[in-house]
Amino acid sequence: MLQINYIKGKYELEGNLVLENSRSLKSYLETLLDYNSKVILSLKNIKAIDNSSIEVLFDLCKKASQNNKVLKVFGKANKKITKTLNNSKLKEFIKD
């Protein structure tokens, strides 16, 4: 299960970010980026992440950049997903 909370200007994701919910997340973030020039995501409370979700986040970061928008993803400090993130193409977009 994935929960999204808006706290102090950023969207904090909580739970497991996996194939079953990556499409819903993609749709949600695309809508946010349609109406906002900058979206900040925190992965600090993510328990697990899989390659399909990494691909979704990577594609959204690229798409945002191409449309002169910003999608910032913070999550390097989350030890539960650090190894997966570091071994992915998303690592260039991930902040501390």
Higher pLDDT, 58 or 89: 58
One-letter amino acid for residue 31 of the chain: T
| Separation CA 28–CA 25 (nearest Å) | 5
* Amino acid at position 84, single letter: T
Look at the block and give the residue holding tokens 């191409």. Answer: 66
The pLDDT of residue 90 is above 80: no
pLDDT score, position 1: 87
Residue pair 46/54 in contact by the 8 Å Cβ criterion: no
Sign, CA dihedral 23-57-36-67, equals negative
Domains located in the chain, CATH noted: 2-95 (3.30.750.24)
Statement: residue 95 has pLDDT above 80 = no
Contact 69, 33 (CB under 8 A): yes
Q: Is residue 85 over pLDDT 90?
A: no
pTM above 0.85, yes or no: yes
CB-CB contact of 46 with 17 (8 Å):
yes
Tell me: the pLDDT tens digits for 25-57?
999 999 999 999 999 999 999 999 999 999 999
